[in-house]
Amino acid sequence: MPIPFKPSSTPTPSTEKKHLSKNLSSTQTKRLVFRRDDVIVRYTLRFFFGLLVFAMISSVPIIIALLDFEIFAIPFLILGSILELIALTCIIYCLFNTRNLPVFDTLNGRFYPQGRRHAESAVSTKDIDHLQILEMEMSPGFCYELNAVMKDGNRRHIMAHGGRQNFMKDAKQLAQNLALSIKDEQGEPYVDIPGKHEGPLVPGGVSFQSMRLVFRQDSITVKATWRLHLGYILFMAIGTGIFCMGLFSSDGLFWPALIMGALFAGIALLGSLTMILKKTFPLFDMVDGMFYPKGFTRDGSGISLKQLDHLEILKERVYNKNGSYDSYELNVALKDGSRYNIMDHGADKLLLADAKQLAEKLSLQLVDAQSGLPVTEPLDEKHKTNSASTTSAKETIGGVIFLVFFGLMFFVAGSFAAWMLCIKPLSGVIASGGWTPTPARIVSSHLDSSRGSKGGSTYRVNIHYEYDVNGAHYTSNRYDFFRSDMSSNVGVGTMREIVSDMTEGKEVTCLVNPANPTEAVISRAIPWFNALFMLFPLPFLFIGGMTIFTAIKSLFIYKDKS
């Protein structure tokens, strides 16, 4: 039995430009999935991956608080909890809201604007007059909204996002499946002008070279650079260190550290493996004369090199809470006006070198997307005047000061951790290599414990032993340079084994500093979990150093441009 359609009491004319969606974005967040019996709207994997990365970054303040840094514990815990709550709420909302996204039941001729769960909202596809596309200017780029306009003037939202090329492709295919026309906000037939709203195909970017072109005799393809893999390795290292800390923890840090460490290491490993094994990088097959925008496939998605018109470089200013930087996008434009992204990163000279070599190999012209003129000079010089005129000295200096302060926080924290976890104990291990082996006798052996600020316990190996050097009697309580000099709740089981083995009266051999006989140690070994902890300061030093370097570099660039 057909479900009756109930028109709204206040119809909205199709000529009204006001958008229906409240979630506008300049990136692609949704897509249409065409199946045999229906057409459904789904969130993209890129969108969920972005939320997952945000959740991972939000966990950093929580981890810092859990590491018992008393000064930062409470504010970092509150900040991290709020950010994590926002990220998880967004993920959960999108997962549950997937069932409420619009569905076209092409088999039964029904359109469910709020998903099949809300059968009362269903209308017949015969009541749809046409599809409507609205264009909204955003910063940066544009957002495009697709609506279904009913014959009585009411509108039903379908999807909205900023990926123009995929959006137009989905809209045209949907119109073809439903035998409907596409109109603009004025009710006129929508004309898809190739190259309209020339903006970045992949909004956003990175401030370093993350991709490069690999030129072979039979092909040209895109590969991830060692810098990108290094970033993944750093995050994998910090995740592994936190995971091991939880694995050997004996109190409340066990589960939080285990979960957070696995999250960091897992996402970093997945990202690195994806870059290594990814088969969807753009590929130019020079033997068959084909261009594959998403890697080599046999599904007919290849494009003949004869259809390529030119290469273009597009400069984009990327803004975030830590400042801004330039990212450069290399695209290939077809003769019909459509564009496909090749790669996108912030190293302008390296991208320009790759672009010129690619243009030479393909016998194509390389042009500036903003001006339409051939690229004949470095990218930073080409936009020198425009950048200088739109940059405020006050904003630039203020941003640099903020970035330097932000970077110093990370660098100081990383330096302190590096001194405590790496430099200090390793210098003792290296120096003790030339110390004199001396007989010693264990006087007492026990495990010192202390309460942390949040109720957890930390432990330290305390073994008293006595020895004689040149007729003088000395005592020491250092077993090694790690478990005796620092309290920790990691590896407590191993500490207990050491204490139980060093029984009172046991004869051992210690190493004595000949220059200072009061200094001695029993073991020079480095515990493997302490070796993993030595990787912990690296991300802090890397992030802090790169932030300070980027800030100072941007200041010099601004001075040069002004």
Contacts 24+ apart (CB under 8 A), 554-558: 554/323, 554/325, 554/396, 554/399, 554/400, 554/403, 555/396, 555/397, 555/400, 557/380, 558/388, 558/391, 558/393, 558/396
Helix axes 226-247, 537-561, angle to 10 degrees: 150
Helix axes 537-561, 393-418, angle to 10 degrees: 160
- Please report which residue ranges of 419-512 form alpha helices under DSSP H: 424-431, 492-501
Using only C-alpha atoms, what is the Rg of the chain? 31
Say what the pLDDT of residue 399 is.
Answer: 59
Say what the pLDDT of residue 198 is.
Answer: 56
Structural contact between residues 249 and 541, judged by C-beta atoms closer than 8 angstroms: no
Say what the pLDDT of residue 247 is.
Answer: 61
Buried b vs exposed e over 300-324: b needs ≥16 C-beta within 10 Å? eebeebeebbbbbbbbbebeeeebe
CA distance 111 to 50: 30
Buried b vs exposed e over 472-492: b needs ≥16 C-beta within 10 Å? eebebbbbbbbbbbeebbbbb
DSSP3 helix / strand / coil % (the chain, rounded to 5): 40, 25, 35
Query: In terms of C-beta density within 10 A (0-12 exposed, 13-18 middle, 19 or more buried), how is residue 255 classed?
Result: exposed
pLDDT in tens, 354-403: 999 999 999 999 988 777 788 866 554 444 434 333 444 444 565 567 66
pLDDT in tens, 486-510: 777 667 778 888 889 988 899 999 9
Q: Reduced to 3 states, what is the DSSP secondary structure of residue 174?
A: helix
Maximum CA extent, the chain: 107
Closest Cα to residue 253, out of 452, 482, 402?
452
Indicate the average pLDDT of the chain. Answer: 78
Say what the pLDDT of residue 253 is.
Answer: 53
Q: How many residues does the chain have?
A: 562
Token digits of residue 523: 């073991």
What is the spatial order of strands in the sheet that 155-161 belongs to?
155-161, 142-150, 128-137, 182-183
Bridge partners of 285, per DSSP, are: 219, 290
Positions of the chain with pLDDT under 50: 1-16, 197, 250, 252, 380-395, 454, 561
Sign of CA dihedral 316, 317, 321, 323: positive
pLDDT in tens, 140-164: 567 889 999 999 989 999 998 877 7
- For tokens 């191993």, what's the residue? 494
Q: Name every residue whose Cβ is closer than 8 Å to that of residue 152 and which is 6 or more positions away in sequence.
A: 7, 11, 127
Q: Name every residue whose Cβ is closer than 8 Å to that of residue 432 and which is 6 or more positions away in sequence.
A: 481, 511, 513, 521, 524
Half-sphere exposure of 220 (CA within 13 A, CB side): 20
CA distance 237 to 44: 29
CA distance 381 to 396: 19
Sign of CA dihedral 398, 403, 404, 409: positive
CA distance 220 to 361: 9
Structural contact between residues 248 and 257, judged by C-beta atoms closer than 8 angstroms: no
Buried b vs exposed e over 341-370: b needs ≥16 C-beta within 10 Å? bbbbbbbbebbbebbeebbeebebebbbbe
List the domain boundaries for the chain.
30-183, 211-386, 391-562
CA distance 58 to 48: 15
Closest Cα to residue 363, out of 296, 280, 284?
284
